[in-house]
């Protein structure tokens, strides 16, 4: 299946989207996607817990999980072989050393499930995400520590079987969100632990 880089981190992306955001669609084959969804169907996903609020999104963490109540990373189950193999491929695509992507979060979005505006916690550095199943749209807006929002938001469709990477400005200077998903969607998000002090 032909694959195309829709845009690259060091090139000018579509107007309104940040540098450091890279997407390729498709990246997985239909067969690979089906095999991953079968693996995920057997996992004990549970409602994500944000400060005692149970989100509609169901997740399972590998490597570490972020404890939002305590504000710290805690150890989680190790990546199984099938996930480590996928991690290695995703890292190669993103130009990262495979072992650096220590963590994986599997998420399920049933129809109508959103993920609110956020910047990933600063305990993490690189973010590489895969989309499986249904369509999703990722919203983008600038992030400022002083919380004075700049005008303008952007939307990035995340087609099934696509891969994206967030680094640099996209990782640290912007927030993202997942708009309520029209259908059932799953994602696998690999992350590396922070290598240096995060920019403010
Ligand atoms: O589901 C996705 O692709 C995005 C996940 C995400 O932004 C997160 O878990 O912080």
Q: Using one digit for the tens of pLDDT, what is the confidence trace for 84-130?
A: 999 999 999 999 999 999 999 999 999 999 999 999 999 999 999 99
Q: What are phi and psi of 84, to 5 degrees?
A: -65, -40
CATH number, domain of 160, equals: 2.60.120.590
In a domain, 58, yes or no: no
- Helix runs in 56-120, H state only: 81-94
In a domain, 187, yes or no: yes
In a domain, 63, yes or no: no
| CA distance to 88, 90, 161, 180, per residue, from 30 (Å) | 19, 16, 7, 24
Q: Please give the pLDDT value at position 166.
A: 97
Among protein residues, the one with the nearest Cα to ligand 1's atom 5 is 189
- Helix runs in the chain, H state only: 30-41, 81-94, 168-172
3-state secondary structure (DSSP) of residue 111:
coil
Cα(116) to ligand 1 centroid in Å equals: 10
Domain residues for the domain of 175 are 18-44+80-193
Binding site membership of 170 for ligand 1 (Cβ less than 6 Å): no
In a domain, 66, yes or no: no
In a domain, 72, yes or no: no
Instruction: Report which of 135, 138, 132 is spatially closest to residue 111, judged by C-alpha positions.
Output: 135
Binding site membership of 187 for ligand 1 (Cβ less than 6 Å): yes
In a domain, 4, yes or no: no
3-state secondary structure (DSSP) of residue 151:
coil
User: Per the structure, how many domains does the chain have?
Assistant: 1
pTM score, whole prediction:
0.89
């Amino acid at each position: 299946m032909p694959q195309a880089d829709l845009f690259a981190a060091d090139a000018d992306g579509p107007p309104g989207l940040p540098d450091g955001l890279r997407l390729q669609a498709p990246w997985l084959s239909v067969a690979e996607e089906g095999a991953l969804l079968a693996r995920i169907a057997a996992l004990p996903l549970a409602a994500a817990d944000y400060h005692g609020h149970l989100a509609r999104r169901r997740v399972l963490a590998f490597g570490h999980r972020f404890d939002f109540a305590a504000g710290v990373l805690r150890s989680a189950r190790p990546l199984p072989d099938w996930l480590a193999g996928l991690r290695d491929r995703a890292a190669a695509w993103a130009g990262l050393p495979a072992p650096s992507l220590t963590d994986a979060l599997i998420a399920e979005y049933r129809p109508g499930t959103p993920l609110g505006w956020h910047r990933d916690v600063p305990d993490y550095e690189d973010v590489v995400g895969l989309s499986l199943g249904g369509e999703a749209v990722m919203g983008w807006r600038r992030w400022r520590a002083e919380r004075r929002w700049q005008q303008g938001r952007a939307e990035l469709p995340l087609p099934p079987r696509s891969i994206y990477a967030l680094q640099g400005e996209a990782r640290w200077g912007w927030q993202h969100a997942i708009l309520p998903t029209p259908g059932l969607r799953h994602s696998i998000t690999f992350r590396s632990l922070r290598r240096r002090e995060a920019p403010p």
